[in-house]
Amino acid sequence: MKETYSRTKSVWQRMDADERQAVMDYGEKYKAFLDAARTERLAADEIIGQAEAAGFKPVYDMDSLKPGDKVYWNQKGKSVILAVIGEEPVHAGIKIVGSHIDSPRLDLKANPVHEQDGIVYFRTHYYGGIKKYQWTCIPLALIGVVYTKDGKKVDINIGLKDDDPIFYVSDLLIHMAQDQMKKTLAEGITGEQLQAIAGTNAEEDLKPKEVFMKMLKDTYGIEEEDFAAAELELVPATKSRDVGFDRSLIASYGQDDRVCSYANLEAILQAKPGVKTQAALLTDKEEIGSYGNTGMESSYFVKFVMKLLALQGKDAILDFYETMENSEMLSADVNSCMDPMFAEVSEKDNASFLGYGINLTKYGGARGKSGSNDANAEFLQKIRTIFNEAGVCWQIGELGKVDQGGGGTIAFMMADWGAEVVDCGTAMLSMHAPYDLLSKADAYETYLAYKAFFESK
């Protein structure tokens, strides 16, 4: 039987030839998902498309539920829940894997277009935790939706095709950067300097901004006021790529948390229907605290569970908390791993490593575990046993040294309702960068872990 837990042997050292090929095949499908699902809206569309192709139906169209039924909930085109009904009734508990499909980015402001010294800019407001200097001098794509005055929805997707134009945030040339180079990394580029260049063309009687707005009107039917009814995001226009001579790694935008979200999707599509109902939760707004009606601080997951209960003839309100107390969840979010170039921020014996399997994190938060879900030992034992019996390679790892920093996930929100929850996701390098890095082996083990969890009793 394969050694599933080791701090001295990587997953690669524990795999046979067939497993290695499976890792590489999975990596190709995962890269295709990354390139297609670059925003939360695109991710939701991709997830629902694959789910419907696999036989999932909208839960709000169902009159009743029986074991084996496949249903989904679409929350405003930004969050999705997929569920496969188990042999036991829903109130006996749900096997939940919860990941998020939003990623750090630059959002256009409500009044974004302005001209300065002959250059047309998009003003932006960054979304999520970023190192601002990393977002200069890279190709950016503009993706999202705009509504015109007459209520017409206009989909925008510019910058991903090879012949598309891109957008660009400039930085100061090194020859004139003496003062800038004396600043801290946090101060070198300010939030207000994250303005994306959108054009410079002018005509005899029209200034650059006027030419720009005329092009928007002629091409998309968009006027300047319409930006007030828009959601437009600037995201890296780079494609996902293999890294290393051995192609063992993947670099891409948005792997936090689409590595776990893709594994979550694949797991529920491939898992055998179980005794318990299985639910893949793929949510929005995690990067900014899970607020809003598409984030986990809202009630849509509650409404989804209540809908399942009602379709099985239960009292939705009274039985919700019993259902959650009988439920188990893997909070499927990424974690940092040991970076030899920045080893001083990690405590090696409690850090995860690239290529050593899916990462179990008992607690997160900051300082004295503030804001953390602290998983119960009994549940950790159960998860460890599931992984070991299924041959899943796993490791343990915290988010850096004590008092070094910290981070949170959606784990505590589900635990608040009584579920057993543990953070369980892929370890990665350069998290929240425009182009972050992880191991193909870890991505594949993440999928195997979620599938094993769904199929467990």
> Do residues 314 and 427 share a domain?
yes
Max Cα-Cα span within the chain: 76
Predicted local confidence at residue 315, as pLDDT: 85
Question: Is residue 5 a part of any domain in this protein?
Answer: no
Question: Is residue 245 a part of any domain in this protein?
Answer: no
Q: 146 lies in which domain range?
A: 105-236
Whether the pLDDT of residue 2 is over 90: the answer is no
**What is the distance, to the nearest Å, from the Cα of residue 400 to the centroid of all Cα atoms in its chain?**
21
Predicted local confidence at residue 317, as pLDDT: 85
The DSSP-derived string for 251-269 is EETTHHHHHHHHHHHHHHH
Last residue of a domain, one of 210, 236, 262: 236
Omega before 257 cis (within 30°)? Answer: yes
> Do residues 351 and 425 share a domain?
yes
Q: What is the CATH number of the domain that holds 73?
A: 3.40.630.10
> Do residues 68 and 183 share a domain?
no
> Do residues 321 and 430 share a domain?
yes
Whether the pLDDT of residue 150 is over 90: the answer is yes
Which of the residue ranges 22-26, 166-170, 223-227, 365-369 would you say has the lowest mean pLDDT? 365-369
> Do residues 169 and 23 share a domain?
no
Q: What is the CATH number of the domain that holds 216?
A: 2.30.250.10
What pLDDT, in 10s, does the model give residues 155-187? 999 999 999 999 999 999 999 999 999 999 999
- The answer for 421, left when phi > 0, alpha when psi is -120 to 50, beta otherwise, is beta
> Do residues 301 and 339 share a domain?
yes
- Average pLDDT over every residue of 258-284: 98
Predicted local confidence at residue 182, as pLDDT: 98
State pTM to two decimals: 0.97
Separation in Å, CA 50 to CA 55, 72, 281: 9, 11, 15
Separation in Å, CA 281 to CA 26, 39, 49, 76, 454: 21, 16, 16, 14, 12
What pLDDT, in 10s, does the model give residues 91-107? 999 999 999 999 999 99
Residue 196 · residue 106 · CB < 8 Å: yes
Q: pLDDT tier at 407 (50, 70, 90 boundaries)?
A: confident
> Do residues 222 and 362 share a domain?
no
How many domains are contained in the chain? 2
Question: Is residue 75 a part of any domain in this protein?
Answer: yes
Helices 17-36 and 440-455, axial angle in degrees (round to 10): 90
